[in-house]
Structure 1
């Protein structure tokens, strides 16, 4: 005779306010008052209810309580690409800094896509958050000006002039100037910028500012600007840096230094130069931007303009915290400057 089936065990449900109230012999309102630390509860009643809360392992719905209080403790962080070393390191730094302020970051990746950046700017998919830290790449500033979402926002990066919201920006004109000045100081004269945009397309602010810094350093040195030394790239990746550098050196074998738009482009440039049989820095010096961790371990190690991501995180969260605390003044601008870290790729 077959054995009777063993009845399935129902998954235990979470303990509710009603469960605690019934066990303690009090009203649901009394339990709620204890959970929310209301002052008008007798001490002996408070201790009795707390004992049953512990015994039944009741866990209040923190999100629900925060929503009733008008705060969730959640902040959205929208970045183009969290797999990028720069943005990944920035996200990690922001997560740690936010935790220190009692905030939790929800990360959204936009891929620099216009429609996804529009969704973030209009409040989707970042609803139910107290604030937004956003690094747009393609969204027209005019659209951000017209956003209806009232969630306090801070823009990070070169984007956003005239947006009407708080910004933490990077002085990329000075950054480009510093990069080229260093290459000039080590005796280079035919310096290329690898990372421009295709002619005929408008340069994003980050590109336009770095090119302006590049040209400013050349003017100071009384060197003629040669537009052929601006190598356009589709994206700032290792692969694009490799392909762009190969094309550049094929057309201009006289290049003796490369100012790469970022470290990823610089890593691609180093690989291209090795494939072309050129020595770094003896034949061509290479300098990048961001000073990501890999810059210390590439071969040769990479000279880079370092950006203080801890400072950027603290600035962003300070601006956002002020807004969450009720500050309603005009938009504010904080600027991060870079500093040169010299390594083997420029002779350091």
Structure 2
């Protein structure tokens, strides 16, 4: 049996010291291009496998970031994770996805302790914790928050990529109003500080700007906007009230598609009887019948900005050197057949 290939073996073949091999592999110290070429040629010739965990222990860097999400059964979260992985790969980073399952304790643990020796930074999509709760936690490594930047974040060393929840919902409802709809229902998860509440603010603002009175009977709350069944159940309850509505705005595309299935079975024509709009622009939205009008929160931009913010802070000798920064990914309204005849 041949001997195992070690860093010292590579050094012998390349004619350099083991320290020089370590410098080339880890990008530390100084060495000539010729030396680097000899070391890398020896690595390839011998099939030497670099142990990223051992390298991480020496350099105190793992080359890995953590992505903390509520779940991955919601298509938006899964598609966002894919974009974060792609954006990270271009910078030579790996991604570990942690799902918190809507648990405040799991979110708190992911932010404060569990990742300390596993990842170099965290991208976090809040769900259970309020801004006051996650802002009260000690910031022990580079962290990017996805979503609205809380007022209390000023002076903190947390970076934010803002998702245009209120602005996007406002645009979707303004579009429905422009189609001549005036009895616009909404299905949202209510209660601060969740995205549903911010999107409901956008809904109410669009109504007010058009002189349409807010009607509480048209707003149906859901406990979990990440489930298809939530949309189906909510629109079933809405239909049973027999309140008249000619349009429906849903917090997520998942809720909208669940609602669409019930409307069709109930003989309500979309968009002739009820115009329908969602939020998230998941891939499935383009394949419903009719295709779903929705707000595109620019997942690719969210992921790219988050990774860039995280990487720039991770590259500092002390990540606390920079003050907290905030960027907005913007949004686009995707008008499709569910809202226009």
More off after superposition, 336-345 vs 262-271: 336-345
Shift of 1:147: 2.3
Answer whether contact 1:123 1:151 (CA < 8 A) is retained: no
Shift of 1:19: 5.5
Answer whether contact 1:241 1:266 (CA < 8 A) is retained: yes
Answer whether contact 2:280 2:294 (CA < 8 A) is retained: yes
Answer whether contact 2:70 2:100 (CA < 8 A) is retained: yes
Counterpart selection for 2:336 from 334, 343, 347: 343
More off after superposition, 335-344 vs 241-250: 335-344
Matches within 5 A, 1:72-221: 72-125=62-115, 127-158=117-148, 160-163=150-153, 164=156, 165-197=158-190, 202-221=191-210
**What RMSD over aligned residues (CA atoms) do the two structures have, in Å?**
2.7
Larger Rg: 1
The Cα offsets for residues 183-202 of structure 1, whole Å up to 9 and x where unpaired, read as 111111110111233xxxx3
Runs of 4+ in 1 over 4 A off after TM superposition: 18-21, 23-26, 38-41, 49-56
CA distance in 1, matches of 2:287, 2:251: 19
Q: Residues 330, 51 of structure 1: CA spacing in aligned structure 2 closer, same or farther, 3 A cutoff?
A: closer
CA distance in 1, matches of 2:40, 2:337: 63
CA distance in 2, matches of 1:154, 1:69: 23
CA distance in 2, matches of 1:186, 1:35: 65
CA distance in 1, matches of 2:332, 2:252: 14
2:316 aligned with 1:323? no
Shift of 1:250: 1.4
Matches within 5 A, 1:248-259: 248-259=238-249
Q: TM-score, normalised by structure 2?
A: 0.87
CA distance in 1, matches of 2:125, 2:94: 18
Which consecutive unaligned segments of at least 5 residues does structure 2 have? none
The Cα offsets for residues 162-181 of structure 1, whole Å up to 9 and x where unpaired, read as 24311111222211211111
Aligned to 1:30: 17
Answer whether contact 1:263 1:292 (CA < 8 A) is retained: yes
Answer whether contact 1:14 1:58 (CA < 8 A) is retained: no
Q: Residues 126, 190 of structure 1: CA spacing in aligned structure 2 closer, same or farther, 3 A cutoff?
A: farther
SS for the counterpart of 1:98 is helix
Determine which structure has greater relative contact order: mean sequence separation of CA pairs < 8 Å that are 6+ residues apart, divided by chain length: 2
Aligned to 1:4: none
Q: Residues 220, 160 of structure 1: CA spacing in aligned structure 2 closer, same or farther, 3 A cutoff?
A: closer
Shift of 1:238: 1.1
2:228 aligned with 1:238? yes
Shift of 1:57: 3.2
Q: Residues 25, 276 of structure 1: CA spacing in aligned structure 2 closer, same or farther, 3 A cutoff?
A: closer
Q: Residues 24, 260 of structure 1: CA spacing in aligned structure 2 closer, same or farther, 3 A cutoff?
A: closer
2:262 aligned with 1:272? yes
Shift of 1:53: 5.3
SS for the counterpart of 2:338 is helix
Shift of 1:121: 1.1
Which consecutive unaligned segments of at least 5 residues does structure 1 have? 1-9
| Matched pairs, number | 329
Shift of 1:336: 2.5
CA distance in 2, matches of 1:51, 1:132: 35
SS for the counterpart of 1:194 is strand
CA distance in 2, matches of 1:143, 1:345: 39
Q: TM-score, normalised by structure 1?
A: 0.85
